[in-house]
Chain A
Amino acid sequence: MQFFKRLTQAITISSLWVAGAAPVFAEENPVSLKIKDHRFSPAELEIPAGQKRLLVIENEDSTPAEFESHSLHREKILPAKATTNIYIGPLKSGRYEFVDEFNDSTARGAVVVK
């Protein structure tokens, strides 16, 4: 009985430790993205599968944008001349497209997960 209690404690503590480490990793390894003249650069980002990552988006335009991706399940306003953070992942490998909804004819990009 004592053994199972200890085992459960060990698993719980390890899980919390791992879970706590994940956001720290995401923040220490941010992925940069820029919007300028209603275009994303780079237009394609690469991140490894199974990791939560922090997308740091700089909107260099003087008008606001809206980052939207159905596949990434993310929707967020990007105020003008400002930097915005968006967490993405962990993701399975594949191609996840995103757009600036306010300028979706020109501002398109994708996250490629390998």
Chain B
Amino acid sequence: MFSAALIVYREALEAALVVGIVAAATRMIAHRDRWIALGIALGCAGALALASVADILGRWANGMGHELFNAAALAVAVAMLAWHNIWMSRHGRQYADQARALGASASKGELAMSAVAIAIALTVLREGAETVLFFYGVFAGSGASSASLAQGSILGLVAGVGTGVILYRGLVRIPLRHLFSVTSVLLLLVTAGMAAQLAQILIQADVLPPIIQPLWDTSRLLPPESSAGTLLHALVGYDAQPSATQVAFAGIVLVGVFLATRMTRRG
């Protein structure tokens, strides 16, 4: 039961943390709850759909269909979150300073929320599909072990979602004037982590070379299987032995968003 809980917890955690940070970052935007809920709902539906065609997808692209699909989902999520980050740095101040931003700004807020909803949907879809497949394996079994696995799975799901809620609650305690910067930095790190994961999937699909593998090794400093390592992996895609390509992708996102933020502030 515990192993099932852990498996589902790890899958749910990544999506839950992204939702928690996004929810805290977009606190002031009107109707953000609906957008986030929409993203989660679409992600869940997509996860069920993706799981149902897993074997067909696996046969595409010389057996690399899964990788290419996940890479596309990550690429779009990275683009949406990066854009959101740049947008928030330009318009976020208006929202932070005024308690309720209404009128003309509301429609711009909706645009930002649609980007975020897409990113959330894609993240829930990716992690959810693996969870659904695991659930399927659990329920296809029979007998007492299946019941205990099912209990463990639900426990893991609840714990994963709960961790996201805890993160959200923790973030919204931060004073408004700092909340904006803190969530922007967190979201940027999450986005860079997704870019690193994107690189890793493309390496796995034999589309990109690792160039140097590994670029560094922190597995003694912070083992990936430890709780801190698991949390950091779910949050920012922590890899104890990243390839040069992974680090490059993360770096490009960090530098790119930083520069774009600077440029839009001047404009």
Binding site for B on A (CB under 8 A): 19, 23, 26, 52, 62-66, 70-71, 73-77, 79-87, 101-102, 104-105
Contact = CB atoms under 8 A, between A and B. Distances in A.
B162 interface: no
Contact of A74 (B133, B204, B209): B204
B192 interface: no
B58 A63 contact: no
Report, nearest first, the 3 A-B pairs whose CB atoms are least far apart: A85-B63, A63-B137, A79-B55
Given A64-B54, A85-B64, A73 B200 contact: yes
Contacts of B239: 73
B50 to A, nearest CB: 10
Interface in B120-143: 129-130, 133-134, 136-137, 140-141
B200 A70 contact: no
B246 to A, nearest CB: 9
B7 interface: yes
A66 B130 contact: yes
Contact of A73 (B64, B140, B203): B203
Is the contact region of chain A dominated by helix, strand, or loop, or is it mixed? mixed
Contacts of B7: 101-102
Contacts of A87: 204-206
Interface string B131-164: 0011011001100000000000000000000000
Contacts of B224: 70
A76 B137 contact: no
A65 B237 CA distance: 22
A104 B10 CA distance: 15
Contacts of B33: none
Contacts of A74: 204
B23 interface: no
A77 B58 contact: yes
A64 B204 contact: no
A63 B135 CA distance: 10
Given A23-B206, A26-B206, A66-B130, 4 more contacts: A63-B136, A73-B241, A84-B63, A85-B64
A77 B136 CA distance: 13
Given A62-B140, A64-B134, A87-B204, A76 B66 contact: yes
B66 A77 contact: yes
A85 B62 CA distance: 8
Given A23-B206, A70-B225, A73-B203, A79 B136 contact: no
Contacts of A84: 58, 63
Contact of B55 (A75, A80, A104): A80
A62 to B, nearest CB: 6
